[in-house]
Amino acid sequence: MISTLHPNLPAAADLQRLGKALAALDAINSPDWEYRYYSYNPEWSEQEQVLEMRDGEGDQMLILFRPEGCVINGFLHEYDQPDLRQVTRGLPAAFDDFMFGEPVASIGTTFCLWYTPAHGWQHGVVENEDDGSEELLEIFDNQPATYAEWANEYYLDDTDRALLTPEAVAAVYHHEPLTKEKVLAINEETTDWTMLAADLQEIGYPYNFS
């Protein structure tokens, strides 16, 4: 179980690496960016990178990575929003502009937690343990089977594609350079290698399609 009160999450650098893997997997599973769950922006701003999750139904998660560590802002549209000042109590100043500026201010916040090398994972005041965080953070258990099970339901339901295996996902979790063979093991319908190469280059994930 992973949640705000049980932040059994990887350290910031490992979470960042996992985030790039998730974005790469989604780029393979969904050539159309609009339908991807996970995307990674290595040029959010100077010294800042962001992993984004959006489900198309109103739920959204942003994870900001900075030299000081990282901070997670989660928003689930069916949950009440707590007092932002309370859920961010103790937040390092390095994350203030992100949590109190845009786009977080417009998105909203139902849970927040952050990581620094000195103190590990922390959170502010949690008024309701059922804040939806378990639902959004489950993917970060570092288990390839978790992504495979989710992707098979989200991307492959009502399609003729072969089911995604944990072994194929594991190669990406380990950041093995993606070859055409590895990509086709994830999505055998892949045809636009130029577009995928551009997506992987933007994410910062290694590949070799030669």
Q: Are the C-beta atoms of 38 and 22 separated by less than 8 Å?
A: yes
Q: Which residue in 165, 142, 139, 170 sits closest to 152, CA to CA?
A: 165
**Which stretches of the chain are DSSP H helices?**
12-29, 84-87, 96-100, 104-107, 133-137, 144-154, 166-173, 180-186, 193-203
Answer yes or no: is 5 within a domain: no
Q: What pLDDT was estimated at residue 156?
A: 86
Q: Which residue in 35, 34, 58, 57 sits closest to 157, CA to CA?
A: 35
- Could you report the per-residue pLDDT of 58-89, keeping only the tens digit for each? 899 999 999 999 999 999 998 889 999 999 99
Sheet with 69-75, edge to edge strand ranges: 38-45, 48-54, 60-66, 69-75, 111-116, 120-123
Answer yes or no: is 114 within a domain: yes
Q: What pLDDT was estimated at residue 116?
A: 98
Angle between helices 193-203 and 12-29 (to 10 degrees): 170
Answer yes or no: is 185 within a domain: yes
Answer yes or no: is 4 within a domain: no
Q: How many CB atoms lie within 10 A of CB 43?
A: 10
Q: What pLDDT was estimated at residue 129?
A: 81
Check whether the bond before 206 is cis (ω within 30° of 0). no
Answer yes or no: is 210 within a domain: no
Q: Which two tokens stand for residue 181?
A: 């063979």
Q: What pLDDT was estimated at residue 8?
A: 94
Q: What pLDDT was estimated at residue 128?
A: 79
Backbone angles phi, psi at 161, to 5 degrees: -70, 150
Q: What pLDDT was estimated at residue 202?
A: 95
Q: What pLDDT was estimated at residue 165?
A: 97
Q: Are the C-beta atoms of 205 and 24 separated by less than 8 Å?
A: yes
Answer yes or no: is 103 within a domain: yes
Q: Integer distance in angstroms from the first to the last C-alpha of the chain? A: 41
Q: Are the C-beta atoms of 166 and 145 separated by less than 8 Å?
A: yes
Q: What pLDDT was estimated at residue 57?
A: 85
Answer yes or no: is 2 within a domain: no
Q: 48: domain range?
A: 12-203
Q: Are the C-beta atoms of 31 and 19 separated by less than 8 Å?
A: no
**For the chain, what is the domain count?**
1
Q: Which two tokens stand for residue 158?
A: 């009502």
Sign of the dihedral defined by the CA atoms of residues 15, 21, 26, 32, in that order: positive
Q: What pLDDT was estimated at residue 101?
A: 97
pLDDT in tens, the chain (210 residues): 899 999 999 999 999 999 999 999 999 999 888 889 999 999 999 999 999 999 888 899 999 999 999 999 999 998 889 999 999 999 999 999 999 999 999 999 999 999 999 999 999 999 878 888 999 999 999 999 999 999 999 998 878 899 999 999 999 999 999 999 999 999 999 999 999 999 999 999 999 999
Answer yes or no: is 142 within a domain: yes
